[in-house]
Chain A
């Protein structure tokens, strides 16, 4: 079925080819492969960007196709990051603790090991006990399951509550924003069990691969991110291509009509909301080991709004638009704020982009909304139409 679907969807084929080409260029140019044309830090940046593209695609499906302007998908992204970060931090600390306890004449008891790990991890928040939510942190498979289950479950409950009481439009956006706010406020607490505003750190060190260079690790994560983006893209393209896509777009354009056609709109919304939340969690789980640190500020409502900005600039209702938007804006953003952009000297005033980038972004965002509601992706319509 998927093969037939790929044959009929030109844009998916084009996208996969472009992604494969890009991945190959970066991989062969990376330090890990010996060429050294692409620095390790750039590989990390590009790998992270691919994860952001993946969540942007998810956001596009839930907003661009289904019409739910969720201001909460970055929360799911963060949860995915936290879930994988817990294992990374636990396993790495366990390794350190075990090697230090090895020196003792008497082998340590399990309680001693757990106490030592606990005080290493929770020392910063003045505790040494493992909270309940760390129950599975010792196991990678279980924690990977959490990457999928926690965002999925949260989205399912929240979505069920919101959709069944028929909260729509701006109300729904505000409600998702409230959910994100509640989550980030919760995580900011020291007794949240996730180290409060310290967050989880040292995630770039993969337990069991201490001897492997960061160049190799970052390349592996880059490739994994590219694979995830490719798979996620195909999955969502398949979901929105068929009859499902018709119904979902129908819900976006006229919810009542779809209802009177006999479709249970709530179920469809819940399906889309939950599926995209799960993919967001996976994207986060790939992103944060490359970023090395996750803290509650990452989950703040503003992050989810930026996500909407990327999708809007890239072009809603077309998956490659979301990818373009996320890649372009996030890379530009780090270029401008990282001091990469040269200052502009106006004679009477010197524009330093670290100060003015957000002004530029804000205003260009207003312009895109006003004048190019289809975003950058809309330009492709002209290109595609010409030959026909």
Chain B
């Protein structure tokens, strides 16, 4: 890449070559340093090159670090070269004239890593002010990767001339980082450090942490140094840890571990006795200690270090952490800046967590709302709801087998999934659930039977391995707000979908005839029937609607999770919780339940990030307790569901 760029730059610069000076003579005057550079000698050559101020210097340095420079053994002339087999294409460093030769008689310059870094630093100075923005960007990246005191001056010098606004800001930021670490005066460094206190980027935090790096140390008295903190054995570190540090610092003899005691005793058995005790009695720690002490007194083994010894040794020393940076003013400033940064980062993390929780809540809402509708209106728990979610996801997968365009396939899959699961729901209602009204527990079991049958059917048809449901390209990636806050587009899409459904369902329930009848049946089925509403039809429609939404939720969930025959089972318990916690038969209740569970789960995960299983355990326990205090959920239902 760099080589192509170099060639491009070269051809651009070609026109102006006429009046320019040649590079080759400059190179030749330092030929030996260039051909066989060492870290110390190369700087003379670089100084000369920089001093020449030639535009050809930049591409030359780039090629040099990139092993793109060859030297003719006969006269020491340098060329750009690229070898292919035994053929070597050479280009003149000034005229760009090309010749093809064999590699015989030419030597590739291979500067070692240390030299390449030195060249790189010199190169950066050119690149920072290069007219080509790509080069300036790569220079900035290289500085960010390997910050160095030498780069500070050229960087500062290049800021004023920078035309690109974003790049200029980046340069200023980088200059701050460098100043914080490398500025010549303490005042400059402190100013730079202070300016970092508003920067939440990982880089800024790394710079501050670097300044605040410490070493652990131990001494008999606290030395005059920039002490970060002193550690008290027993409080800040255990006595054993403290003693380990003493051992490491050669200030105390090592502890004899139990295994070593045993081995020492075993090695000194004489006539079945060790240290005056018969071996058969050495089955306790006390007896072993006694025998060992006898051996130690006889000088056979090193004396035992007891716990009291360790405590005493620890008490005679101070344990502390000392800053690598000697100047307390700088570390104080950095600490203050870091505290302020961390406060900001914490706030940003919280925002990020909230976004995560929101998207999780959206998923739970989508998964549970269908269940809530059927449960609320019909008092029926549909254990096969999870399998309807799965069915929707597989519908999406099948559509993608026929429609290769991902955007189009999703647009087709959403209504199709609704139609498929709507039909499945209505069929199930007609064939099974209709016959089990007023027997809710039986419905639960019958739908469970359907659930295992459907799950196994899916396994038989689609196999056990996960099937992909690929999201359109424009949903890839994430919306990055900062180093801390980012959210993937797919989750935003699911959030939007959830909002859409919330709106749609509320519209259906509050603005349509069906909705009116559904609400009537929910609140008082007997009265509704006497007013000419056919509860049979309402139940069928509601069940279809609830199942259809499960299908759409399936497509949405399939987009970011794997489509498997068991995916429904993963969501069903969570969906139940959502419905039960939220309160039955109410859209807002489901929303509240989904939000509570989503936020709670993320919150617990945040407090205990290493263990998602524990997070789930605690959440389920919380829900069990929650139901103790609000058995009817957050938004309590009146009417049929509340009557029993």
User: CB atoms of A and B under 8 A apart anywhere in the complex?
Assistant: yes
| B-binding residues in A (CB < 8 A) | 69, 104-112, 158, 161-162, 165-171, 173-175, 177-179, 181-182, 185-186, 188-189, 191, 301-302, 305, 308-309, 312, 355-359, 361-366, 369-370, 373
| A-binding residues in B (CB < 8 A) | 258, 262, 265-266, 269, 274, 279-285, 288, 379, 381, 432, 435-436, 440-442, 444-446, 448-457, 459-460, 569, 573, 576-577, 580, 611, 613-614, 616-617, 620-621, 623-625, 627-629, 631, 644
Q: Could you show 10 A-B contacts with beta carbons less than 8 Å apart?
A: A105-B266, A107-B280, A169-B440, A173-B441, A185-B616, A188-B613, A305-B445, A309-B445, A357-B456, A358-B456
**Partner among A106, A167, A179, A355 whose Cβ is within 8 Å of the Cβ of B282:** A106
State the Cβ distance, A224 to closest chain B Cβ, in Å: 32
| A162 CB contacts on chain B under 8 angstroms | 627-628
State the Cβ distance, A338 to closest chain B Cβ, in Å: 16
| A189 CB contacts on chain B under 8 angstroms | 611, 613-614, 617
- Do A359 and B616 have beta carbons less than 8 Å apart? no
- Do B435 and A370 have beta carbons less than 8 Å apart? yes
Given contacts A108-B283, A362-B450, A366-B432, contact A312 B445 (CB under 8 A): yes
**Partner among A106, A111, A302, A358 whose Cβ is within 8 Å of the Cβ of B265:** A106
- Do B449 and A170 have beta carbons less than 8 Å apart? no
- Do B266 and A182 have beta carbons less than 8 Å apart? no
State the Cβ distance, B439 to closest chain A Cβ, in Å: 8
CA distance A330 to B515 in the complex (A): 45
Q: How many A-B residue pairs lie within 8 Å, measured between CB atoms?
A: 160
**Partner among B274, B381, B453 whose Cβ is within 8 Å of the Cβ of A358:** B453
Residue of A nearest to B644 (CB): A169
**Partner among B456, B625, B629 whose Cβ is within 8 Å of the Cβ of A356:** B456
- Do A308 and B285 have beta carbons less than 8 Å apart? no
State the Cβ distance, A264 to closest chain B Cβ, in Å: 18
**Partner among A107, A166, A174, A355 whose Cβ is within 8 Å of the Cβ of B279:** A107
CA distance A188 to B454 in the complex (A): 27
Leading 8 A-B pairs by shortest Cβ distance: A362-B453, A365-B449, A107-B283, A358-B456, A182-B620, A362-B452, A369-B446, A366-B449
Residue of B nearest to A364 (CB): B449
Given contacts A178-B624, A189-B611, A359-B460, contact A370 B455 (CB under 8 A): no
- Do B283 and A69 have beta carbons less than 8 Å apart? no
Classify the secondary structure of B's interface with A: helix
- Do A182 and B456 have beta carbons less than 8 Å apart? no
| A170 CB contacts on chain B under 8 angstroms | 379, 381, 440-441, 444
- Do B279 and A362 have beta carbons less than 8 Å apart? no
- Do A105 and B279 have beta carbons less than 8 Å apart? yes
- Do A112 and B258 have beta carbons less than 8 Å apart? yes
| A173 CB contacts on chain B under 8 angstroms | 381, 441, 444
| B283 CB contacts on chain A under 8 angstroms | 106-110
CA distance A188 to B616 in the complex (A): 11
- Do A181 and B620 have beta carbons less than 8 Å apart? yes
Residue of A nearest to B630 (CB): A165
- Do A171 and B620 have beta carbons less than 8 Å apart? no
Q: Can you add 12 more A-B contacts, CB < 8 Å, to A185-B613, A189-B614, A369-B442? A: A106-B279, A158-B624, A162-B628, A170-B379, A173-B381, A174-B381, A177-B573, A181-B616, A182-B621, A305-B448, A309-B449, A312-B445
Residue of A nearest to B449 (CB): A365
State the Cβ distance, B440 to closest chain A Cβ, in Å: 5
State the Cβ distance, A32 to closest chain B Cβ, in Å: 37
State the Cβ distance, A36 to closest chain B Cβ, in Å: 37
| B280 CB contacts on chain A under 8 angstroms | 107
| B620 CB contacts on chain A under 8 angstroms | 178-179, 181-182, 185
Residue of B nearest to A191 (CB): B611
CA distance A167 to B644 in the complex (A): 10
| A178 CB contacts on chain B under 8 angstroms | 573, 576-577, 620, 623-624
